[in-house]
């Protein structure tokens, strides 16, 4: 199957670079187990959807609870990125 990519304009590339930087920061902070800093990567409306389990955590307290449970279950958790897939945002804010 063939694939094609649509070239991004300057603003789009900057936006994509900013999104990638936030994700990389988030992963680094998770690996450092600095969850207060991880929470800041979620922005003002924190939400974590754990779709395989059908669980959804809303707000900073909800997301904090998710990470507390995660670290209790997997105290040595370390994320190693194997591949990246970057998409266009589904919507933009006006």
* Domain boundaries, given as residue ranges, for the chain: 18-73
Q: For position 5, what pLDDT does the model report? A: 46
* pLDDT averaged per 10 residues, the chain (length 94): 49 80 94 92 90 94 94 93 81 53
In the three-class reduction of DSSP (H, G, I as helix; E, B as strand; rest coil), residue 69 is classed as: helix
Q: For position 44, what pLDDT does the model report? A: 83
* 38 burial level (CB within 10 Å; 0-12, 13-18, 19+): buried
Q: How far apart are CA 18 and CA 85, in angstroms?
A: 15
Q: How far apart are CA 80 and CA 70, in angstroms?
A: 16
Answer whether 25's CB lies under 8 Å from 63's CB.
no
Q: For position 6, what pLDDT does the model report? A: 46
pTM, rounded to two decimals? 0.71
Q: For position 10, what pLDDT does the model report? A: 61
Q: For position 1, what pLDDT does the model report? A: 41
Q: For position 4, what pLDDT does the model report? A: 43
């Amino acid at each position: 199957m063939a694939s094609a990519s649509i070239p991004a304009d300057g603003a789009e590339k900057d936006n994509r670079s900013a999104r990638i930087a936030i994700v990389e920061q988030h992963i680094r902070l998770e690996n450092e187990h600095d969850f207060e800093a991880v929470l800041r990567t979620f922005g003002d409306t924190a939400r974590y959807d754990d779709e395989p389990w059908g669980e959804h955590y809303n707000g900073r307290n909800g997301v904090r609870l998710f990470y507390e449970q995660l670290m209790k279950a997997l105290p040595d958790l370390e994320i190693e990125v194997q591949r990246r897939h970057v998409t266009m945002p589904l919507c933009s804010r006006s």
